[in-house]
Amino acid sequence: EVQLVESGGGLIQPGGSLRLSCAASEVTVGSNDMGWVRQTPGKGLEWISIIYFKKPYYADNVKGRFTISRDSSQNTLILQMNSLRAEDTALYYCARLIKFKGFDMWGQGTMVTVSS
């Protein structure tokens, strides 16, 4: 079954770090454009990062704090999040981007809560 499964979310204090993972089945992470989208509870979707044509891109509000990468040996997409802020609290989705379609495949999401 084709699926994306996120993990690594949790409760973290402001200024802390978390590492999110997105494990892919039947999809090769290294051969696809893969990214992260987040959603604050009750709010809209916010694109935050992607590996697109093998280059990383970031939204302005996470640039310098978040790093996207992939582990081809584990077929996993990774988001390293540092210097976390309360406004980073959200459900984080992993998704696959198809160049002429948009995000056609989504994981179930992993919740990140930044609070003291």
Partner 1 sequence: DIQMTQSPSSLSASVGDRVTITCRASQGISNYLAWYQQKPGRVPNLLIYAASTLQSGVPSRFSGGGSGTDFTLTISSLQPEDVATYYCQKYDSAPFTFGPGTKVDL
111 binds partner 1 (CB under 8 A): no
54 binds partner 1 (CB under 8 A): no
Strand partners, 98: 102
Name every residue whose Cβ is closer than 8 Å to that of residue 46 and which is 6 or more positions away in sequence.
37, 38, 39, 40, 59, 90
CB of 50 to partner 1, least distance (A): 6
Total residues at interface with partner 1 (CB under 8 A): 24
9 binds partner 1 (CB under 8 A): no
Count CA atoms closer than 13 A to 73's CA, side-chain side: 0
Q: Note the residues at the interface with partner 1 (CB under 8 A).
A: 35, 37, 44-47, 50, 52, 57, 59-60, 93, 97-104, 106-109
